[in-house]
Amino acid sequence: MLLVASLVRRDGRVPIHYVHQYTPYAPLEMRHARNGTGEPLTYRERQVLTLLAKGMDGPAIAGELGLSPETVRSYTQGARAKLGAGTRTEAVALALTRGEIAI
């Protein structure tokens, strides 16, 4: 806590990048229990997450699967909602942890 307190400016404000850097996050399992819908991922959602885990970006995934980038974004958002993930990276981590996908 001293480290964070030392980042406070004289006027009492903390630069936003420091706030995000030191904000504690709940473990992934707790986030899922709190936010996820619990629905199983579809085949396409698992495909998209697997390609994300392999380092591909949205347009590359769209080309690989023959989809539009907007469709890939939609699958990613659906998977994030089902897993209770805040980001694509977190969705991949959760899916890997739970055995939903493998790389």
| Per-residue model confidence (pLDDT) at position 18 | 44
Helices (H), 11-100: 16-22, 28-35, 43-53, 58-65, 69-83, 88-97
Q: Provide the residue-wise pLDDT of the chain in tens; the chain has 103 residues.
A: 334 444 556 665 655 544 444 444 445 554 444 457 778 999 999 999 999 999 999 999 999 999 999 999 999 999 999 999 999 999 999 999 989 999 8
Instruction: Locate the DSSP E strands across the chain.
Output: none
Q: What is the pLDDT of residue 33?
A: 46
Q: ∠ at Cα 72 (38, 90), nearest 5°?
A: 50
88 neighbors 52 (Cβ within 8 angstroms): yes
Structure tokens at 22: 């030191």
